[in-house]
Chains A and B, each alone.
Chain A
Amino acid sequence: GDSVTQMEGPVTLSEEAFLTINCTYTATGYPSLFWYVQYPGEGLQLLLKATKADDKGSNKGFEATYRKETTSFHLEKGSVQVSDSAVYFCALSDSGVSGGYNKLIFGAGTRLAVHP
């Protein structure tokens, strides 16, 4: 079945460093891809998404490009801040649910810790 694999954390960076969190996926169809962020004790918030190959999602300085040839959707940010410390989840939409209400399949999450 469909699946998502993320790099293991924690990722520890100094403020203003460059961030990359790797995400690869396995899917039989043409899924949409997402990055969600979770701050401590809270639910998940959508960070960015891409719905087809070569699309680039971006938000709050974060970017990810849908690469069909490498089945990847790596998250990047040029200069991280302490406030970016959180857990980041890569996810894909499962098109197996009828009626247009797609299930999301998540990776295990990557914890990011940014120090001043």
Chain B
Amino acid sequence: DGGITQSPKYLFRKEGQNVTLSCEQNLNHDAMYWYRQDPGQGLRLIYYSQIVNDFQKGDIAEGYSVSREKKESFPLTVTSAQKNPTAFYLCATTAGGYGYTFGSGTRLTVV
């Protein structure tokens, strides 16, 4: 079945450490997105990519980085510059039009 896979499901980060969240899709979708979810604040866009080797900052890109070397993959790195990284991170894809497919999310906690 086609879909979008995020891993790991739970991730723990120490102070000053960079961590990378994986997002892989086999839907052959062009566009991919990373959202951050905090309690009571809905989802906020971190980065998005419409095509391989190209990506744009969203509303809260500071402290994050991404790459898009393959159509299937859009990993998100949470750097040490992100001072409050504890959140639920969601990856999504779309082939255009208005249909978004979301992954099941990664819960990141700072320890």
Residues on A lying within 8 angstroms of B by beta carbon are: 4, 32, 34, 41-46, 49, 51, 89, 93, 97, 99-104, 106-109
Contacts and interface: CB of A to CB of B under 8 A. Distances in A.
Given A43-B104, A89-B43, A51 B98 contact: yes
B105 A103 contact: no
A70 B99 CA distance: 25
Interface stretch (B11-19, B61-69, B70-78, B89-97): B89-97
23 contacts: A32-B98, A43-B6, A43-B90, A43-B102, A43-B103, A43-B104, A44-B90, A51-B98, A89-B42, A97-B48, A100-B96, A101-B31, A101-B48, A101-B50, A101-B96, A102-B94, A102-B98, A103-B48, A104-B100, A106-B43, A107-B42, A108-B40, A108-B41
Interface residues of B, number: 25
Contact of A45 (B35, B58, B102): B102
A99 B98 contact: no
Interface of B: 6, 30-31, 33, 35, 40-43, 45, 48, 50, 58, 90, 92, 94, 96-100, 102-105
B40 A43 contact: no
Contacts of A32: 98
Nearest to A34: B98
A-B pairs with lowest CB-CB distance, top 10: A43-B102, A101-B31, A106-B42, A108-B42, A106-B43, A44-B102, A100-B96, A43-B104, A101-B50, A43-B105
B45 A103 contact: yes
Contact of A46 (B33, B100, B105): B100
